[in-house]
Amino acid sequence: MNNSHPAFELVTSADIDSLGVRVEEYRHTTTGAQHLHIAADNAENVFLVALRTVPHDSTGVAHILEHTALCGSDKYPVRDPFFMMIRRSLNTFMNAFTSSDWTAYPFASQNRKDFNNLLDVYLDAVFFATLDPLDFAQEGHRLEFAETENTSSELVYKGVVFNEMKGAMSSVSSQLWHTLSKYLFPTTTYHFNSGGEPTDIPKLSYEELVDFYRSHYHPSNAIFMTFGDISAAEHQAAFEEKALHKFEKLDKTIEVGREDRYHAPLKVEEHYPLSGEALEEKTHIVLSWLLGDVTDLEEALTAHLLAGVLLDNSASPLMKLLETTDLGTSPSPLIGLDDSQRELVFVCGIEGSERERADELEKQVLAVLEEVAEKGIPYEQVAASLHQLELQQREIGGDGYPYGLQLILTALTGATHRGDAVGLLNIDATLEKLRDQIKDPMFIANKARELLLENQHRVRLVMSPDDKLAGRKEQAEKAQLAQIKARLSEQEKAQIVETAKALTDRQNREDDASILPKVGVEDIPAEMPDVEGEITEIGEQKLTRYSAGTNGLVYQQMVCALPEFSEEEKALLPYYCQVLSEVGLADKDYLEVQQWQTRVAGALHGFTSSRTAIDNLDHLSGHFILSGKALSRNQGELTELMQATMAQVRFDEHARIKELLQQTLARREQGVVGNGHALAMAAASAGYNRAAWESHASGGLLGLRNLRAMVKGLDEKDGLQQLSAHFQAIHNKILAAPRQFLLIGEEEKLSDFSQALAPLISSSSTAAANPDAPFERRRVQELWVANSQVNFCSKAYATVPMSHPDAAPLSVLSGFLRNGFLHRTIREQGGAYGGGAGHDSNIGVFRFYSYRDPRMGETLEDFDASLQWLAEGKHKEEQVEESILGVIGGLDKPGSPAGEAKKNFHSGLYGRSHEVRQQFRKRVTEVTLQDLQRVGATYLEPSKASTAIVTGPQGSEAAAKLNLQEEKL
């Protein structure tokens, strides 16, 4: 059946039963634009338009264009329609992405009016962008004098993308990937950093940006993708009316060719900056191979299967080597198969090594691959890896990105390279073929030889730390700027001053927002969505079960109230949770257990959660959860595995425990730069109550410092034995704690699932912990020094819990300050990649933050200035309405069917029932401007704020002027 608009023709369609969707591919007859529509019975409609963007340098042209295109268009000639629409919308997702070979503009909404509003703005932004030179200067790069109007002061680079990429390239993982790509792809676009190298970004001219836009942002080079219950024809009518009818076909075809192949493996060495730390055992060694074309579904799935067999778990042959070798501390953060580009990339390696160990590691890796090629892999292990592929295909997501967007992004790679995008979603037939092929005991063996051992396009990269490199780069930038300044004429200096003034004037200009479409409070549904569970019993223990469309999966959790722990045990609790499902059970060692898990479960892990009472921030309670998921046919085996995990766990595999903690430490160290704003907010909040302090002490910077010390102490006499004894003591207390159960599955199977849980029943003998331990409040004034080229700033204020009437206006205030003041001063004028505020009613703290920020003291001043603006400014009621919409959009944002059930259950555990959340939501819709000014004056007094900044060594001098206590990781 053809449901297309007359301007489109149907190319192909397919029903995908395993996903419960129908996929339809269309082509626009005039321009050749592609439209992929995923029809689903889902009210959260998703739109994405992608352009193939193929840069030939590292100036970040595609990335800067992504930003600049959203700064005004023909129909909407306002300065910032993208961010203005965020606050005039009930969207569940709005963003833009730059990948290595495409740029995409996606959004999602459950409200039809809102969806159409956003579609109108997005189509105009992409195909009719204004591209004002001042927006290029703001978003990309510009020269300014350090003292804006003082031409004798030094020159500096500014720009949002410039600072964003300084932050992004502070990450060792990013440096590893981009350096590896440089050698793995010597001739194609992947040789370059599409996000932009900070040293190259200033080379991009405005004219080059406009030329790139004209050649790439055309419907002939576009892929439209939609998901949901709006028909393809309705979408196409909008595409045609609002954009496509104005274009003819573009003769130029933009594509990425196949990479030339090496005739012999390549060995390269590079360095990365590491400051303020010892350099010993900080080298990364990775081996990578270029494999086949991502658009060949069978080839791609075979490569995924081979990667899974080699790396799925600790018992997989290659992962076992990388985890246990004494050549490094843990597997590399770059590991596995990357399928996001034209050709597949397989990577493995280690970190925590030394450059002279590279030959030995390569020798050991090749020896493992040779053994696999000679002997093959037992059928059970290959079948278990194929089982994991099936699980990934079947599971309905939506708890991070909208589910429809996940499916769209899965298909986008194929569409980008003009391959079978539908096939990337409809993999059942290929999975079935693989099930048949793996019956040949040499199938994987032959693939290991063909794709890896005999593949000469292999790169070995050794990246060693250099504690002088950051300083040399900084000095090179300063020297370059000094040379530029020395060549400037007086007229050119005056032009820099004039551009800075013009940009400030433009940033301070109040645009007529009424030309943009909007939704209002009247468009908010009266009731927030609800998911109802059924409470029953297994034996004498409570079972809450939810019927949900899980597409053949079952989710189950054992939930224990946290017992009384010593302070030392509390500190170890996160690591106990991590180790629990990663070590041996009874007579099985951890390798056998890993194979067992891969065979029957999609996931099995322990974790803890804790919340304050809705009316008392000093009343903290928590739970331990053992959580598992599996295909429905494996539920009995999943339950058996969970029961064994609790009853038979053994903490005597000391070498394994040390490996796990070293891996955790490495991941958390690498995550600082990407998560610096959250870590700064946690540090700033830590002095207000026990809940905030425990967050900082476990998942925050204090927790990272403590983990470093703990890992170091493992080498001391009896260090591992003592840690194992602590884990066993924690486990014994959890075994004795009261239990209840959560079960989520398809309705017709719930009764059978419930009966299968019987082995998990246990009699409890201890009560939950006393949640009201005393806490000594303090004001935090801290500077944390990490390996970062940019800053993350935060200020925090003590407020109120969720049930307090002021919690709602404080939540609305965060968006009000961001929309009206912070976005302009911190991002547009200050050059940070992001900044804003938020209220966390669980810990009763209001927090300001900046992200990838070149400034420090000035940002803290902007936080304070926003409060003065709040108190003294002339504000409009529509600004309040926009902030209310933002809060409601977050509250109503849907998750996956299983995720919604989990959220309902766990909220209820801590008194946050649907009725309580509905009451809070109602209060949000009733917030007034007077409420915002009142709570600002009541709770946000700058002299009482706590402050925390995460910076690099270069920030210590500037921080000294702020009277902050320096904390070392």
Residue-wise over 427-436: b if at least 16 C-beta within 10 A, else e?
A: beebeeebee
pLDDT of residue 266: 97
Tokens of 286: 């990775």
pLDDT of residue 771: 64
Rg of the Cα atoms in the chain:
28
pLDDT of residue 774: 82
Mean pLDDT of 893-915: 92
pLDDT of residue 362: 98
Mean pLDDT of 869-885: 93
Angstrom distance (rounded) from CA 904 to CA 921: 15
Angstrom distance (rounded) from CA 917 to CA 906: 13
Instruction: Report CA-CA distances (Å) from 25 to 3, 103, 340, 923.
Output: 11, 20, 21, 45
Q: Is the dihedral of CA 273, 277, 280, 286 positive or negative?
A: negative
pLDDT surpassing 60 at residue 789: yes
HEC states along 673-719? Answer: CCCHHHHHHHHHHCCCCHHHHHHHHHCCHHHHHHHHHHHHHCCCCCH
Tokens of 414: 């194929």
pLDDT of residue 3: 75
pLDDT of residue 1: 54
**Which has more pLDDT, 751 or 679?**
679
Tokens of 511: 């645009």
**Over the stretch 464-505, which tens digit does the pLDDT of each residue have?**
999 999 889 989 999 999 999 999 999 999 999 999 999 999
Tokens of 217: 């942002």
- E strands, 136-238, are 142-145, 155-158, 222-228
Query: Which residues does residue 950 pair with via DSSP β-bridges, in sequence order?
Result: 784, 792
Domain 266-466: CATH superfamily, name plus number:
Metalloenzyme, LuxS/M16 peptidase-like (3.30.830.10)
Domain chopping of the chain, boundaries: 8-256+488-515, 266-466, 534-760, 781-968
Give one DSSP letter per residue of 277-326, joined into a string. Answer: S--TT-EEEEEEEEEEETT-HHHHHHHHHHHHHHHSSTTSHHHHHHHH-T
Tokens of 246: 């104005």
Tokens of 399: 């708890």
Angstrom distance (rounded) from CA 380 to CA 368: 19
pLDDT of residue 356: 97
Instruction: Report CA-CA distances (Å) from 214 to 79, 128, 206, 255.
Output: 21, 10, 13, 16
pLDDT surpassing 80 at residue 766: no
pLDDT surpassing 80 at residue 960: no
Give one DSSP letter per residue of 370-408, joined into a string. Answer: HHHHHH---HHHHHHHHHHHHHHHH----SSS-HHHHHH
pLDDT band at residue 767 under the 50/70/90 scheme: low
**Over the stretch 531-590, which tens digit does the pLDDT of each residue have?**
889 999 988 899 999 998 888 899 999 999 999 999 999 999 999 999 999 999 999 999
pLDDT band at residue 302 under the 50/70/90 scheme: very high
pLDDT band at residue 276 under the 50/70/90 scheme: confident
**32 by DSSP, 3-state: which?**
coil
Tokens of 764: 């409890």
pLDDT of residue 550: 87
- E strands, 855-951, are 946-951
pTM of the model: 0.91
pLDDT surpassing 60 at residue 406: yes
pLDDT of residue 463: 96
Nearest partner of 341 among 282, 256, 422, judged by Cα:
256
Angstrom distance (rounded) from CA 233 to CA 754: 44
pLDDT band at residue 18 under the 50/70/90 scheme: confident
Mean pLDDT of 288-298: 93
Residue 732: other Cβ atoms inside 10 A: 12
Mean pLDDT of 302-309: 96
**Over the stretch 100-157, which tens digit does the pLDDT of each residue have?**
999 999 999 999 999 999 999 999 999 999 999 999 999 999 999 988 888 989 999 9
pLDDT of residue 549: 85
The CATH code belonging to domain 8-256+488-515 is 3.30.830.10
pLDDT of residue 651: 97
Mean pLDDT of 513-522: 92
pLDDT band at residue 768 under the 50/70/90 scheme: low
pLDDT of residue 385: 93
pLDDT of residue 717: 81
Nearest partner of 559 among 579, 570, 545, judged by Cα:
545
> How many helices and strands in the chain, by DSSP H and E?
34, 28
pLDDT of residue 232: 97
Q: What is the mean pLDDT of the chain?
A: 93
**Over the stretch 681-709, which tens digit does the pLDDT of each residue have?**
999 999 999 999 999 999 999 999 999 99
Nearest partner of 740 among 563, 542, 918, judged by Cα:
542
Instruction: Report CA-CA distances (Å) from 208 to 58, 64, 189, 190.
Output: 13, 11, 17, 19
pLDDT of residue 815: 95
pLDDT of residue 358: 97
pLDDT of residue 956: 77
Tokens of 889: 């959009």
| Residue 417: CA count within 13 A, CB half-sphere | 23
Question: ∠ CA 835-838-842 to the nearest 5 degrees?
Answer: 150
Polymer length of the chain: 969
**743 by DSSP, 3-state: which?**
strand
**Which has more pLDDT, 277 or 825?**
825
Mean pLDDT of 301-328: 95
pLDDT of residue 398: 74
**Over the stretch 242-263, which tens digit does the pLDDT of each residue have?**
999 999 999 889 999 999 999 9
pLDDT band at residue 592 under the 50/70/90 scheme: very high
pLDDT of residue 510: 85
Mean pLDDT of 66-95: 93
H or E element in which residue 432 lies: helix 428-437
CATH number of this structure's domain 534-760, picked from the four choices 3.30.70.1560, 3.40.50.150, 3.30.830.10, 3.60.20.10: 3.30.830.10
**Over the stretch 501-516, which tens digit does the pLDDT of each residue have?**
999 998 888 888 889 9
pLDDT of residue 316: 95
Percent of the chain with pLDDT over 90: 81
pLDDT of residue 863: 98
pLDDT surpassing 70 at residue 2: no
pLDDT surpassing 70 at residue 770: no
Mean pLDDT of 416-429: 87
Percent of the chain with pLDDT over 70: 99
* Intrachain domains 266-466 and 534-760 with the same fold: yes
CATH number of this structure's domain 781-968, picked from the four choices 3.30.930.10, 3.40.50.620, 3.90.380.10, 3.30.830.10: 3.30.830.10
